[in-house]
């Protein structure tokens, strides 16, 4: 295959001899993990057979060299992958995990803890309540008996006690509960850890040194505000522990999340800067390669053994070796060596999305970007602009199938956002790395470098924020294998359309179909916001945000604000709300108060109302600080209170009792039961707002003979299983609004709860599947309008059944 380097007029031939070997190793490990250990040696055997045939019948030296590489890789794949996958598949610990047995484990940590952001029970650390710790079992006792196992386990542990463990550290899990691991992985069990690590050993000195450097960078980043200060460690070292959730979501929607997941681009920037600096001092290629190799090794230790980083590290080592030997290296053989070697070393790489994204993105940059850049320069586009456009475009097209299959969505603004972000990524990264090195010996110098990086970080946040706010920025897409295949077909059609007329014809037919069919379908769908809306459940992810119209233009009451700033702000913008007479916070969990700050952005807020609960303490202080910062009165509502506006009345029904949260209240049940329960009287009917009340609070309301009947029910606690069927039946709702995040880890909404609602005659609307949901008055009762990407539809609530017709 021949491409042209845009910087030169001579064609460059890619060396494909190692590609088949790398593909064989990757495919053997992938199918062995997904289908069974025996598939790995089968695929390897087929590769060996193909290599033997090629050696027998091949005539050219190039073909025979490629066949020899395939033969060696096939033999290694069959000899190494098969036994490892068999051992992991038949590990004794899997049986105990399937029974949910308790266990005491002694493990060696293999990766840095990864934060798990919890929407409902977050603290000031950005929602990090637990961490994921990958480890290898050294000893394990389950069911009071030693279990022979040396498999991999994943610890889900409290962040406060486990966030400081380091790779190479040997720790003991005093008490844990085993659970089955996900299929298709080398991990043999998951362990839910309750307490801190017991008998924690000492990590290797190089890991302690790397952690000290990361801590120094975090401390130096404190001179910036929260958003850029949390972004810099993620950009430099992949440390997202202080990353503000709003920024994290905006980077994801804008297709810029790769910037905080350290990959080959970071290594290229750092090593490239070192090579250029040493070249300016006229040092020889071997000295330059040696120095860059040391920097490469140090950077790998700093960021940790992430799959994408290891791939880039192996590729970089191969390229530096070629430089030291005075040979012209090729990116494609280096990529093949990295893929084959890493998959043989760690078969789990084969099913890592990060590894797959890194590999296909690199392949796209090597194979497609130079051709497109040369084509553009031939048509008069400056070389720098051509490269700036083709690099993110090629990366987007080749990674789109993987992202679509994994996430079920595509960012349509990714290319433009990355083009705008590209000019500042390298300077900010270099400044951040320099600050990391200086932080331990000269903190003031490190802080000065961080301040220099501040404007660049602000620019990245601005680009992500504006790009993610573009209507239709994220396109819903079928997930899984079929969704990935469909995205691959579309990407291939786009690539071919650039060169071939039949492909352009097919693309034109697709566009005409969209204009004639899809656009009219969206046109006849109701506009947003619908006229005369009375209630809107905003799609804010795994959290609540309800907007109640007051009957005055531009004014509405907001009940809860979602898990983070941003989504509720955009929802209010879509509704043209610029005055909020009251923000009612049902209770103080993060998925209800996290977006409070963004309600104030560009709006006048009359007051903040809370219930009698004051737990968790950090959340109460956050609300108090927010109210003080905006000089907004803070009031407490209690049972029997009433508030009125021209077309809205709120009657507070509960809580009737306020349970005190304790340290043992790990699941937040007591705090949920402090939720304010209110009935809103609107032109569309009565709406029962329930916060996250669970069994105890629901029983209290029933025992007090509270008038619960309403036309619309905001389903308690995102539709969790902790709802009494008798409570749901007492409401007799015609519409049930479930505010819930897509693919949440809590199992919300619960199927039994949904069946109870539908059996009672309620039409259920969910924000995870329908986006923002509006309720408006209709001649026969409340009507429902859903807003969502490609999913707008309007339906009326079914007439309420009579008592003798109820199930």
What is the H or E stretch that residue 33 is in?
helix 19-35
Q: How much helix, strand and coil, in percent to the nearest 5, is found in the chain?
A: 50, 15, 35
Dihedrals φ, ψ of 193, to 5°?
-100, 135
- Local confidence band at 11 (pLDDT 50, 70, 90 cut-offs): very low
Same domain, 171 and 68: no
pLDDT at 21 over 50: yes
- Local confidence band at 798 (pLDDT 50, 70, 90 cut-offs): very low
- Select from 551, 553, 557 the least CA-distant residue to 585: 557
Does pTM surpass 0.85? no
d(CA 544, CA 29): 43
The tokens describing 1, both together, are: 């295959």
pLDDT at 692 over 70: yes
Does residue 519 sit within a domain? Answer: no
Does residue 711 sit within a domain? Answer: yes
Tens digit of pLDDT for each residue in 616-631?
Answer: 888 899 999 999 989 9
Q: Are 468 and 253 in contact (CB under 8 A)?
A: yes
Which residue, 203, 221, 238, sits at the end of a domain?
203
Which residue, 203, 220, 235, sits at the end of a domain?
203
Does residue 156 sit within a domain? Answer: yes
pLDDT at 2 over 70: no
Q: How many domains does the chain have?
A: 4
Lowest mean pLDDT among 16-30, 74-88, 356-370, 716-730: 356-370
Same domain, 561 and 706: yes
Sign of the CA dihedral 71, 76, 78, 79? positive
d(CA 767, CA 663): 32
Highest mean pLDDT: which range of 126-140, 653-667, 709-723: 709-723
Does residue 718 sit within a domain? Answer: yes
Average pLDDT rounded to a whole number, residues 142-170: 88
- Local confidence band at 120 (pLDDT 50, 70, 90 cut-offs): very low
Q: Are 626 and 605 in contact (CB under 8 A)?
A: no
**Omega of the bond prior to 560 within 30 degrees of 0, cis?**
no
pLDDT at 807 over 60: no
Same domain, 417 and 542: no
Same domain, 97 and 83: no
- The angle at the Cα of 632, spanning 629 to 637, to the nearest 5 degrees, equals 125
Same domain, 343 and 478: yes
Residue 271's pLDDT is what? 77
pLDDT at 801 over 80: no
- Local confidence band at 278 (pLDDT 50, 70, 90 cut-offs): confident
What is the H or E stretch that residue 712 is in?
strand 712-714
d(CA 601, CA 571): 12
pLDDT at 421 over 60: yes
Average pLDDT rounded to a whole number, residues 299-314: 77
Question: 28 or 664, which is more confident?
Answer: 28
pLDDT at 802 over 80: no
DSSP assignment string, 125-136: TTSEEEEEEEEE
The tokens describing 234, both together, are: 């993620």
Same domain, 302 and 442: yes
Residue 13's pLDDT is what? 63
Does residue 613 sit within a domain? Answer: yes
Same domain, 678 and 610: yes
- Which CATH number do you get for residue 165? 2.40.50.140
Residue 558's pLDDT is what? 97
Question: 373 or 105, which is more confident?
Answer: 105
- Which CATH number do you get for residue 665? 3.60.15.10
What's the mean per-residue pLDDT of the chain? 82
Same domain, 636 and 699: yes
pLDDT at 518 over 70: no
Return the beta strands (E) in 98-165 as ranges. 102-109, 114-117, 128-142, 145-146, 152-158
Tens digit of pLDDT for each residue in 332-370?
Answer: 888 888 888 889 998 988 888 778 877 888 888 788 878
Domain holding 182, by residue range, is 93-203
Which residue, 203, 228, 262, sits at the end of a domain?
203
Same domain, 196 and 141: yes
**Omega of the bond prior to 529 within 30 degrees of 0, cis?**
yes
- Select from 324, 367, 304 the least CA-distant residue to 112: 304
Enter the DSSP assignment of 347.
G
Does residue 503 sit within a domain? Answer: no
Same domain, 271 and 348: yes
- Select from 403, 395, 399 the least CA-distant residue to 369: 395
Does residue 10 sit within a domain? Answer: no
Same domain, 338 and 399: yes
Tens digit of pLDDT for each residue in 554-608?
Answer: 999 999 999 988 899 989 998 999 999 999 999 999 899 999 999 998 899 999 9
Does residue 489 sit within a domain? Answer: no
Same domain, 169 and 224: no
Using only the alpha carbons of the chain, give its radius of gyration. Answer: 29
Question: 713 or 801, which is more confident?
Answer: 713
The tokens describing 332, both together, are: 């494609």
């Amino acid at each position: 295959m021949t491409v042209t380097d845009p910087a030169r007029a001579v064609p460059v031939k890619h060396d494909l001899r190692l590609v088949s070997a790398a593909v064989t190793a990757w495919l053997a490990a992938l199918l062995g993990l997904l289908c069974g250990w025996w598939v790995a040696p089968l695929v390897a055997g087929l590769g060996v057979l193909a290599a033997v045939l090629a050696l027998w019948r091949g005539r050219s030296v190039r073909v025979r060299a490629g066949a020899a590489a395939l033969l060696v890789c096939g033999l290694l794949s069959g000899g190494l992958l098969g036994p490892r996958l068999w051992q992991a598949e038949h590990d004794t610990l899997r049986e105990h995990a399937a029974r949910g047995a308790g266990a005491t484990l002694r493990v060696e940590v293999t990766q840095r803890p990864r934060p798990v952001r919890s929407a409902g029970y977050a603290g000031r650390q950005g929602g990090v309540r637990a961490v994921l710790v990958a480890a290898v079992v050294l000893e394990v006792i389950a069911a009071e008996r030693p279990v022979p196992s040396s498999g991999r386990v994943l610890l889900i542990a409290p962040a406060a006690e486990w966030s400081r463990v380091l790779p190479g550290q040997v720790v003991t899990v005093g008490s844990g509960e085993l659970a089955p691991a996900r299929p298709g992985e080398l991990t043999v069990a998951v362990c839910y850890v309750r307490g801190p690590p017991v008998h924690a050993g000492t990590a290797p000195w190089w890991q302690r040194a790397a952690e000290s450097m990361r801590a120094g960078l975090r401390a130096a980043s404190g001179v910036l505000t929260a958003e850029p200060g949390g972004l810099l460690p993620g950009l430099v070292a992949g440390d997202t522990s202080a990353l503000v959730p709003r920024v994290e979501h905006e980077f994801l929607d804008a297709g810029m999340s790769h910037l905080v997941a350290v990959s080959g681009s970071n290594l290229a920037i750092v090593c490239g800067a070192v090579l250029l600096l040493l070249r300016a001092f006229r040092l020889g290629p071997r000295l330059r390669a040696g120095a860059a190799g040391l920097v490469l090794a140090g950077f790998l230790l700093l960021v940790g053994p992430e799959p994408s980083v290891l791939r880039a590290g192996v590729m970089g080592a191969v390229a530096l070796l070629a430089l030291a030997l005075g040979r012209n290296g090729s990116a494609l053989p280096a990529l093949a060596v990295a893929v084959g070697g890493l998959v043989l070393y760690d078969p789990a790489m084969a099913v890592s999305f990060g590894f797959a994204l890194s590999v296909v993105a690199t392949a796209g940059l090597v194979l497609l970007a130079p051709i497109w850049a040369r084509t553009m320069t031939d048509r008069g586009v400056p070389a720098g602009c051509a490269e700036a456009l083709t690099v993110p475009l090629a990366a987007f097209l080749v990674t789109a199938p993987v992202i679509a299959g994994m996430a079920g969505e595509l960012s349509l603004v990714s290319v433009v956002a990355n083009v705008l972000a590209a000019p500042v990524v390298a300077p900010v990264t270099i400044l951040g790395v320099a600050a990391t090195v200086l932080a331990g010996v000269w903190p003031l110098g490190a802080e000065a470098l961080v301040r220099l990086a501040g404007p660049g970080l602000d620019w990245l946040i601005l680009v992500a924020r504006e790009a993610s706010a573009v209507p239709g920025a994220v396109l819903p897409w079928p997930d899984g294998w079929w969704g990935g295949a469909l995205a691959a077909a579309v990407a291939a059609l786009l690539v071919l359309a650039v060169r071939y007329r039949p492909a352009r014809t097919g693309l034109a037919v697709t566009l005409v179909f969209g204009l004639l069919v899809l656009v009219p379908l969206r046109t006849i769908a109701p506009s947003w916001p619908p006229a005369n809306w009375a209630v809107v459940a905003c799609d804010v992810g795994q959290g609540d945000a309800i907007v109640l119209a007051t009957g005055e233009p531009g004014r509405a009451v907001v009940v809860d604000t979602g898990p983070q700033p941003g989504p509720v702000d955009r929802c209010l913008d879509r509704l043209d709300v610029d005055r909020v007479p009251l923000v009612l916070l049902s209770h103080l969990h993060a998925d209800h108060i996290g977006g409070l700050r963004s309600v104030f952005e560009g709006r006048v807020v009359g007051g903040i109302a809370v219930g009698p609960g004051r737990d968790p303490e950090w959340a109460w202080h956050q609300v108090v600080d927010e109210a003080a910062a905006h000089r907004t009165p803070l009031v407490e509502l209690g049972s029997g209170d009433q508030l009125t506006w021209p077309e809205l009345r709120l009657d507070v029904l509960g809580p009737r009792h306020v349970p005190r949260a304790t340290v043992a209240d790990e699941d937040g049940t007591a705090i949920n039961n402090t939720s304010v329960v209110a009935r809103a009287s609107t032109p569309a009917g009565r709406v029962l707002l329930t916060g996250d009340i669970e069994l105890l609070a629901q029983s209290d309301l029933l025992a007090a003979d509270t008038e619960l009947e309403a036309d619309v029910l905001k389903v308690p606690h995102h539709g969790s299983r902790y709802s009494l069927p008798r409570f749901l039946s007492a409401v007799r709702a015609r519409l049930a609004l479930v505010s819930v995040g897509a693919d949440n880890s809590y199992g919300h909404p619960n199927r039994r709860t949904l069946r109870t609602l539908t059996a009672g005659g309620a039409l259920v609307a969910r924000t995870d599947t329908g986006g923002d949901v509006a309720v408006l008055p209709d001649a026969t009762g409340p009507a429902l309008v859903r807003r969502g990407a490609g999913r707008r539809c309007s339906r009326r609530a079914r007439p309420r059944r009579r008592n003798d017709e109820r199930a």
